[in-house]
Structure 1
Amino acid sequence: MTVTTVTRQDVVDFLYTEAKILDEWRLKEWADLFTDDGTYLIPPIGEPDADPLTSLFYAHDNRSRLQERAERLLKKEAHVEFPHSTTLRNYHNIIVNNLESDVISVELNFTAHRTKREVMDTFIGKAYYDLVLQNNELAIQHKKVILQLDSLRPHGKISLIL
């Protein structure tokens, strides 16, 4: 696959594979989807353009931190996620731009359902990706998740990767 041969369907399939990997708690594989300079961001609710230098982000990870996050969530010591939640992610309204460019930009809406201990949480929002080719495979250079919620209820935290 080269930049000129990447199709919209290739991008959509890549994103659906990412969702499947996350739902199956294959978090180390998820981290491997990122480039070495990859980033993963979740800004505060209601502040999608917040500055990470002045605002507290739910996640503001470079490649090594997102790898550490993935490994930590897989350990028994991560009590909030052991045993793991059951999750189901849906990606929809996928818009793919710049297929002919070195950096493919994607915008999508998502719904992530999480159930644990007979409680169901639903996270909704938008995700923005910059995808690049790395070793002839699509890879995530940047992922930003914008939660479209009034607040995080009932517990006020995010204990899984969105």
Structure 2
Amino acid sequence: MTVDRPEIEDFLFQEAELLDNWQLHEWGALFTDDGSYFVHGTNVPVTASPESALFYIADDQIHIRERVSRLYKRLAIAEYPHSRTRHFVSNVRVAPGDEDEIAATCNLVVHRWRDRADAFFGVARYRLVKSPEGFKIREKRCVIDCDNLQSQSRISIIL
């Protein structure tokens, strides 16, 4: 399946806007029923699975919904009150995937303010499918370009 890069960019910009506006339920709805969300560092091969390597986040659809629900609760002290974030998406590349998939990559920088400024940067790799409602995320894999998270302490936001 082929699509134009601007279509994919618009979708990625929409995803970033949902995250920055803390519209997390709407963000979760962007995933397919078998969708997954992974975050790991550069020490993990990009083709690795959570069964064979250590991931910061390895969520299937059930865990994505649970993560979203937890982040809205007052008991989520890591994110209450919510951090202010800005997601910057650039260098979008689109390649044909399988027959029904689109492979897309982009550079990603996420600035977070919560008592201090943090920045997460790296690459996001997507496996997207086209649905009647628009694009859906089958897999989002964020590779963070830092050796450790000591300065950031934790990943409590969605990248």
TM score, norm. by length of structure 2 = 0.91
Rounded to whole Å, the distance in 1 between the matches of 2:98 and 2:52 is 36
Segments ≥4 residues shifted beyond 4 Å: none
Of 13, 17, 21, 2:18 maps to 21
Does 1:88 find its partner at 2:86?
yes
2:45 and 2:18 mapped to 1: Cα distance? 26
Residue in 2 aligned with 1:148?
Answer: 145
Q: Are the aligned partners of 1:133 and 1:139 in contact in 2 as well (CA < 8 Å)?
A: yes
Q: 1:101 to 1:9 in 2, by over 3 A?
A: farther
Unpaired segments ≥5 residues, structure 2? none
- Select the residue among 90, 95, 103 that pairs with 2:101: 103
The runs of 5 or more residues in structure 1 that have no matched partner are: none
| Aligned-partner residue type, residue 34 of structure 2 | D
Q: Whole-Å Cα distance in 2 between the matches of residues 84 and 136 of structure 1?
A: 29
What SS does structure 1 have at the residue aligned with 2:111?
A: strand
1:8 offset after TM fit, Å?
Answer: 1.9
Please list the CA deviations of residues 87-133 of structure 1 after superposition, one character each: whole Å capped at 9, or x if unmatched: 0010011101118942110011110000111x100000000001101
**2:39 paired with 1:42:** yes
Q: Which SS does the other structure have where 2:26 is aligned?
A: helix
- Aligned residue number for residue 128 of structure 1: 125
Could you tell me the TM-score, scaled by structure 1's length? Answer: 0.90
Conserved in 1, the CA contact under 8 Å of 2:41 and 2:145?
A: no
Aligned counterparts of 1:69 and 1:100: Cα–Cα separation in 2: 29
Deviation string, structure 1 residues 16-57 (Cα, Å, up to 9, x no partner): 000000011111100000000101111245223444124331
Greater shift, 142-151 or 44-53, is seen at 44-53
Percent identity reads: 39
- 1:97, 1:28 → 2: CA distance? 28
| Aligned-partner residue type, residue 87 of structure 1 | T
Partner amino acid, structure 2, of 1:82: Y
Distance 2:26 2:111 in 1: 21
